[in-house]
Amino acid sequence: MRRRSCDLAIVGGGITGAWCLYFAAQKFPAWRIILLERSRIAGGATAHSAGVFFAVGRSDRERHLAGRSAVHYAAVRNRLTLESSEAPAYWIADSTALPALRKMSVGFTVECCQGDLEGATDSLGLRVVSDAAETLFYGGTSISMEPTAVATALIRHSALSSSASACEGVGVQQIDATAGAIDLVLSDGSVLTAGRIIVAVGPWIVNGPIANGPIESVASERDIRIKKVVALHIDQAPVSRSPAIFLYAHDAYLMPIPRRKQWLFSFRSEEWDVKVEGQGLTISQLDRNLARSILGQYFPDLVDHCFGGRVFCDAYTADLEPVVCSRDNDRLIVVGAGGGAGFRLAPGLAEEAVLRLV
Ligand SMILES: Cc1cc2nc3c(=O)[nH]c(=O)nc-3n(C[C@H](O)[C@H](O)[C@H](O)COP(=O)(O)OP(=O)(O)OC[C@H]3O[C@@H](n4cnc5c(N)ncnc54)[C@H](O)[C@@H]3O)c2cc1C
């Protein structure tokens, strides 16, 4: 049996694994670090992600992660010259929501717009209607990037600037932790002996090829489930300075994506316990009806422009807090469960995972 060894193995080449590689290569330049991806780099949830970053958080921890992520995304956007677009952010929410919106925001303040919602058509560049007693708020900037390009650039930069490397088409099938090291049994029959391991397998944390032993224990401890995630495309080109509009009561938002000449409408599909493979995740009629009913309530002109979209799944903990869990005296770290916000929180999560390494 062929054997290799390394100081650190990172399992999973999505946005979380890519950020882990980036931080670990900087922090431990002398280490031999290998990222293992069973399929293609950034081919999992990251390939389907809308790539929207907005510095908000539901809890103190999420706000901390979002704040750290804001710093790191700003740095790599320049350093790795990543393509991105920015949109001023607005919320449509109940008039009493201002304290909650202010609490969620990281590094900016939310203010109330003057006048009624229907009068906001000019500032939003879209016709807005509303029967409800809702108000328009503004504050912050929402950013959109191509997640696959970001992950690929992070990995390429790490490989060029250190002895780290990434291997595609190599899945980890089994993890055997012994006293001194961790043996990873790989899909080609070989064994990789690693001093430490970070597991960043996205939705494969449940029912994936290594969903047993320590991985299974993290998934069951945090009650992780897999939910479908859907975003529809709206085939109407945004005008210059089109805003991102968050619909607070619906956990939904509209984001202009100028480079694709379309808007993206993200909303909550409630299909739980889906299988990451084999089932063929699709945008169902139920998803379309839900999206259209929310859009129709606020932006009736956009309903007939819904055309296609993105669908995959993501891992969610019971309390919606993402995971950075250590096992085996910090030699094995499981990171992820982004709960539909894993692109936004990936740098903060990866930084926390790498800081735990000894
Ligand atoms: C339609 C859609 C829109 C989204 N929009 C946004 C958004 O706008 N903003 C946001 O913040 N989040 C968004 N998300 C969520 C975000 O995409 C995910 O949270 C994030 O991509 C998760 O990244 P990850 O690296 O943890 O997982 P993944 O990208 O799934 O990466 C895990 C990788 O691990 C590999 N792997 C699994 N098992 C093994 C193994 N045994 N051995 C080796 N490799 C293995 C997989 O092949 C995969 O490539 C969206 C998600 C979807 C589906």
Q: Given the structure tokens 């750290």, which residue do they identify?
A: 68
Mean pLDDT in residue range 325-330: 89
43: DSSP letter? -
Q: Which atom of ligand 1 is nearest to the CA of 338?
A: 19
Token code pair at residue 87:
């949109």
Mean pLDDT in residue range 226-246: 93
Ligand 1 center to 306 CA (angstroms): 24
Mean pLDDT in residue range 293-303: 95
Ligand 1 center to 185 CA (angstroms): 23
**Domains along the chain with CATH numbers:** 3-50+147-204+324-356 (3.50.50.60), 84-143+240-273+285-305 (no CATH)
Q: What percent of the chain has pLDDT over 70?
A: 99
Residue 172 CB-half CA count within 13 A: 30
Is the per-residue pLDDT at 154 higher than 90? yes
Mean pLDDT in residue range 218-241: 94
The interaxial angle of helices 60-79 and 342-356, nearest 10 deg, is 90
Q: How far apart are CA 351 and CA 69, in angstroms?
A: 9
Ligand 1 center to 203 CA (angstroms): 7
Is the per-residue pLDDT at 279 higher than 70? no
Q: Are 177 and 214 in contact (CB under 8 A)?
A: yes
Is the per-residue pLDDT at 164 higher than 80? yes
Q: What residue owns the CA closest to ligand 1's atom 49?
A: 44
Of 48, 50, 44, 47, give the one whose Cα is nearest residue 11. 44
Mean pLDDT in residue range 87-95: 93
Ligand 1 center to 264 CA (angstroms): 18
DSSP H helices, 87-192, are 98-104, 121-124, 147-161
Is the per-residue pLDDT at 116 higher than 80? no
Q: Are 124 and 301 in contact (CB under 8 A)?
A: no
Is the per-residue pLDDT at 106 higher than 80? yes
| Site residues for ligand 1, CB cut-off 6 Å | 11-17, 36-39, 43-46, 48-52, 171-172, 200-204, 208-210, 229-231, 310-312, 314, 336, 338, 340-344
Q: What residue owns the CA closest to ligand 1's atom 52?
A: 49
Q: How confident is the model at residue 120 (pLDDT cuts 50, 70, 90)?
A: confident
Q: What percent of the chain has pLDDT over 90?
A: 83
201: DSSP letter? -
| Most distant CA atoms of the chain, gap in Å | 72
Q: How confident is the model at residue 280 (pLDDT cuts 50, 70, 90)?
A: confident
Token code pair at residue 298:
């606020």
Query: Quick one: 188 exposed, middle or buried, by C-beta within 10 A (0-12, 13-18, 19+)?
Result: exposed
Out of 88-102, 260-274, 278-292, 340-354, least confident range: 278-292
Ligand 1 center to 177 CA (angstroms): 26
Burial annotation 113-139 (CB, 10 A radius, 16+ → b, else e): beeebeebeebbebebeeeeebbbbbb
Q: Given the structure tokens 């939904």, which residue do they identify?
A: 252
Q: Are 326 and 240 in contact (CB under 8 A)?
A: no
pLDDT of residue 278: 67
Q: What residue owns the CA closest to ligand 1's atom 9?
A: 52
Ligand 1 center to 310 CA (angstroms): 13
Ligand 1 center to 42 CA (angstroms): 7
pTM of the full predicted structure? 0.96
Ligand 1 center to 92 CA (angstroms): 29
Q: How far apart are CA 48 and CA 266, in angstroms?
A: 12
Is the per-residue pLDDT at 5 higher than 80? yes
Q: How far apart are CA 267 and CA 50, in angstroms?
A: 12
Ligand 1 center to 280 CA (angstroms): 16
Q: Which atom of ligand 1 is nearest to the CA of 255?
A: 8
Token code pair at residue 277:
């493979």
Q: Which atom of ligand 1 is nearest to the CA of 210?
A: 41
- Position with higher pLDDT, 178 vs 59: 59
Task: Name 256's bridge partners.
Answer: 263
Mutate to test the pocket of ligand 1, among 22, 38, 168 (most ligand atoms within 8 A of CB): 38
Mutate to test the pocket of ligand 1, among 20, 23, 49, 170 (most ligand atoms within 8 A of CB): 49
* Residue 339, C-beta contacts closer than 8 angstroms, at least 6 positions apart: 314, 315, 316, 317, 320, 321, 322
Mean pLDDT in residue range 277-297: 91
Q: Given the structure tokens 């999206």, which residue do they identify?
A: 291
Task: Name 230's bridge partners.
Answer: 267, 311
CA distance readout (Å), 349 to 19, 65, 353: 9, 7, 6
Ligand 1 center to 199 CA (angstroms): 13
pLDDT of residue 307: 93
Mean pLDDT in residue range 258-279: 91
Q: What residue owns the CA closest to ligand 1's atom 27?
A: 202
Rounded to the nearest angstrom, the gap between the alpha carbon of residue 310 and the centroid of all alpha carbons in its chain is 14
* Residue 304, C-beta contacts closer than 8 angstroms, at least 6 positions apart: none
Please report which helix (H) or strand (E) contains residue 63, including its range: helix 60-79
Is the per-residue pLDDT at 87 higher than 90? yes
Q: Given the structure tokens 């950034």, which residue do they identify?
A: 42
